[in-house]
Structure 1
Amino acid sequence: MQNIKTLIHARWVIPVIPEGQILENHSLAIYQGRIVDCLPRIEAETRYRDAHQIELTQHALIPGLINAHIHSPMSLLRGLADDLPLMEWLEKHIWPAETKWVSETFVRDGALLAIAEMLRGGITCFNDMYFFPEVVAQAAVEANMRAVIGMIVIDFPSRWAKTPEDYLRKGLELNDNYQNHPLIKTAFAPHAPYTVSDESLTQVAILSKELNIPVHMHIHETVEEINRSITQYGMRPLGRLQRLGLLSSRLLAVHMTQLTDQEFQTITKHGIHIVHCPESNLKLASGFCPVAKLYQAGINIALGTDSAASNNDLDMFVEMRLTALLAKALASDASAIPAKQALRMATLNGAQALGLEQEIGSLEIGKIADIVAVDLGGLETQPLYDPISQLVYTAGRDKVSDVWIAGQQVLKRRQFTTLDERLLLSRTQAWAERIKESRKFT
């Protein structure tokens, strides 16, 4: 008998690998933050009698969901300017609000609000892009949340940095400070082709290759972005990025709603990862990412929520469902992107895009114990014939009951163990009053 810390008994274990596998009445054994066994419950009870045992008799255990694109502090701007096209939303509302309000305190409070929402929705890892990234990293560590923190690069000054060189210098300091951290990794995060110069993008390409660090960037989000690039540079954004040396398997291209056949070939050739954000794309009328066609071409597709200011929630269950449904409609094929593939996009594909697939994204022996329990026993999820289909097409984030990150339980029967919910609500409401009051005079 092996000594282990925790034994979780569940009605179903859905490991994601092998794809579509459903293990009934199985248990996961956790020791020192990792999965050390996955076996039938009857065997687990005999083999691990001394373990702390957790009963989840009507639940499915899945890998922690991975939000591969978010601006977490923007949760404090949720609902500030709705029903507007992207560039009007950005230039007339969001950027002015950020200029006025963004500070270390704003970023910390917004990041913690987002982290709390994500944990309750079964998200155990997020890929962030925002100012004061060191503050987001600190908030994630305090909540025991896994994060890839973006080293943002943008041409205009902010309260965090004044010049592109300043952004890069501070980003590299962040990377140095979190080398080998168990929860925090980094990625270069140039905002978008239309906000970053050739010189800065070339420098990012060089550093990404030297340090083997991902690059996380909005690309081909709207028709307007494409037209601006053609006017300014004489080529589409993806072509410009190729000229600057940024296309590689380290690139996470977010949105990608505007693609030609030639660009499909370019994406495949370079092994670029796509981060699909269907709800944000729909709300901002940005366009449709051709997910089924990308999937058929063998391109890795991860899922993200984008910010709560453009979504307006951080709900990966909705993103999974929309991904599957939109793909079917756009392809005129009801079999396009089945539920098992949507679940993989929200888990293992996200890990692969971030270079973390050896550690997270599936419930395999030896991997880190980032685990989510989803209660499928209620009236709303009955009758139940296929747990994976039920997760994608029926269940919502309200069915998430328990969450573990690196074996530590951070959500227990929907209650936080690392965050103070009342304090978060109080700080969020205070920000809302200040921001609302200021807008009366603009």
Structure 2
Amino acid sequence: METVDLLISARWVIPVEPDAVVLEHHAVAVRGRRIVDILPASEAAQKYRAAEHHELPEHALIPGLVNAHTHAAMSLMRGIADDLPLMTWLQSHIWPTEARWVGTEFVRDGTRLAIAEMLRGGTTCFNDMYFFPEVTARVAATLGMRASIGMIVVDFPSAWARDADEYIARGIDEVFDAHKGEGLISACFAPHAPYTVSDAPLARIRNLADELDRPVHIHVHETRHEVDEHVAKHGMRPLARLDSLGLLGPNLVAVHMTQLEDDEIALLAARGASVVHCPQSNLKLASGFCPVARLLDAGINVALGTDGAASNNDLDLWDEMRTAALLAKGVAGRADALPAHAALRMATLAGARALGLGEEIGSIEVGKAADLVAVDLARIETQPVYDPVSHLVYAAGREAVSHAWIAGQAKLVDGELTQLDGREIMTNAAAWAARIAAPERA
């Protein structure tokens, strides 16, 4: 018998690639960080001796979920200013709170809270955009969480940098160079939005992204107001400006995209850009509807993100999958506009591809990293099971996630975090809430 480090036998293995395939009574063998075999469970028992063997007779084994857009540290601002329009929410509440409180401790504690929430919900990789990205990277690396860390850029000063040049310099030095070659931490450029970053830094980011082959992660076409103001100021829509600067290409990760015309969809497809859909945040802020079915029909890679917990108000990709599938049907007027297997693909392989990680994660394939999640379908809420993929999207939720592995290392076992103390994290969150909610002293 051959020796492996980990063998997981499950009622259903859902690899995502090939599309819409379900393997019944199969096992996944892991040696080190990587998947080395996928085979019937009965054969696996004869072929492999495993240091650790998990038999999950009523579970679906899927690739770890990929949250393709979030602001992890903002979990400490969950619920701070709800039911407000985007710009009112930002300008009157979020930005003043950030100016007062955001620093290394805030980002450290907020990121730990976010990672704990994501792992409990089966998210094994997240793409972040926030201040002090080196702190987010350090926390993720320490906890063995896979993360794409956005090197944030805005024109205005913050507690982290004075101007766009310093944002870029610190991002390259403290994120890209500091974590180069690390298996779980990658970097992307993260200019906040066309309305907060001017042409010169955007052009420089384009050159650096091309040179370093890094994604460019940016909010764009989030609201009608944003687009109208941009046209008034620049004489063109935001996407056209990004294209004129050479940013619209395979490295672009365009977030939200609720305001799109037919020619813009065709342009996105022609340039090979990816879109990240954040349906619940868009709905909560009344930003609009991303035309997901039209994007997919055009062959565009569409991933899923939660946005930050301050605008969602959670980091639950199961809710995003369900909302995305239902909303796409309503917007398109077609029940088949976004089937369950396509929604699951958006939350896994599409996210990985958007972040340049499609060869590493996002599907259960031999040679890929063992980022895996087990979902318990032996629950009242998911009985009977005719189609496990349908249940994952329309019936199950994050509470059904029982196990999570990243690069073959257990991060969640029987619903319990292996490296994080939930009570400590909750105590820290409560302490931050008391500080943030306290009246500001003159």
Q: Does TM-score exceed 0.5, indicating one fold?
A: yes
Aligned match of 1:147: 147
Aligned match of 2:409: 408
Q: Kindly state the Cα deviation for residue 262 of structure 1 after the two structures are TM-superposed.
A: 1.3
Aligned match of 1:43: 43
Q: Is it true that 1:347 corresponds to 2:340 in the alignment? A: no
Tell me if structure 1 keeps the 8 A contact 2:7–2:50.
no
Q: 1:156-192 CA distances to partner (integer Å, 9 max, x unpaired)?
A: 1011101111000001102111111011000000000
Q: 1:282-337 CA distances to partner (integer Å, 9 max, x unpaired)?
A: 00000000000111010000000000000001000011111110111111100111
Measured in 2, the distance between the counterparts of 1:55 and 1:384 equals 19
Aligned match of 1:208: 209
Aligned match of 2:396: 395
Q: What is the RMSD computed on CA atoms of the aligned residues?
A: 0.9
Deviates more, 1:411-420 or 1:78-87: 411-420
Q: Is it true that 1:171 corresponds to 2:171 in the alignment? A: yes
Aligned match of 1:22: 22
Aligned match of 2:432: 431
Tell me if structure 2 keeps the 8 A contact 1:63–1:362.
yes
Q: Which amino acid aligns with 2:385?
A: L
Deviates more, 1:277-286 or 1:416-425: 416-425
Measured in 2, the distance between the counterparts of 1:91 and 1:430 equals 25
Measured in 1, the distance between the counterparts of 2:383 and 2:182 equals 42
Q: Kindly state the Cα deviation for residue 49 of structure 1 after the two structures are TM-superposed.
A: 3.1
Q: Kindly state the Cα deviation for residue 390 of structure 1 after the two structures are TM-superposed.
A: 0.3
Following superposition of structure 1 onto structure 2, how do residues 267-306 of structure 1 map, counting pairs within 5 Å? 267-306=268-307
Aligned match of 1:79: 79
Following superposition of structure 1 onto structure 2, how do residues 255-270 of structure 1 map, counting pairs within 5 Å? 255-270=256-271
Secondary structure, in 3 states, of the residue corresponding to 2:370? coil
Secondary structure, in 3 states, of the residue corresponding to 1:308? coil
Measured in 1, the distance between the counterparts of 2:401 and 2:310 equals 23
Q: Which amino acid aligns with 1:93?
A: H
Normalising by structure 2, we get a TM-score of 0.99
Following superposition of structure 1 onto structure 2, how do residues 44-59 of structure 1 map, counting pairs within 5 Å? 44-59=44-59
Measured in 2, the distance between the counterparts of 1:8 and 1:213 equals 34
Measured in 2, the distance between the counterparts of 1:317 and 1:138 equals 27
Paired residues, number: 441
Aligned match of 2:160: 160
Tell me if structure 1 keeps the 8 A contact 2:6–2:50.
no
Q: Which amino acid aligns with 1:397?
A: R
**5+ residue gaps, structure 2:** none
Aligned match of 2:2: 2
Secondary structure, in 3 states, of the residue corresponding to 1:257? coil
Q: Kindly state the Cα deviation for residue 252 of structure 1 after the two structures are TM-superposed.
A: 0.2
Q: Kindly state the Cα deviation for residue 236 of structure 1 after the two structures are TM-superposed.
A: 0.6
Measured in 1, the distance between the counterparts of 2:176 and 2:137 equals 11
Aligned match of 1:189: 190
Q: Kindly state the Cα deviation for residue 50 of structure 1 after the two structures are TM-superposed.
A: 4.6
Q: 1:88-126 CA distances to partner (integer Å, 9 max, x unpaired)?
A: 000000000000000100000000100000000000000
Q: Which amino acid aligns with 2:230?
A: S
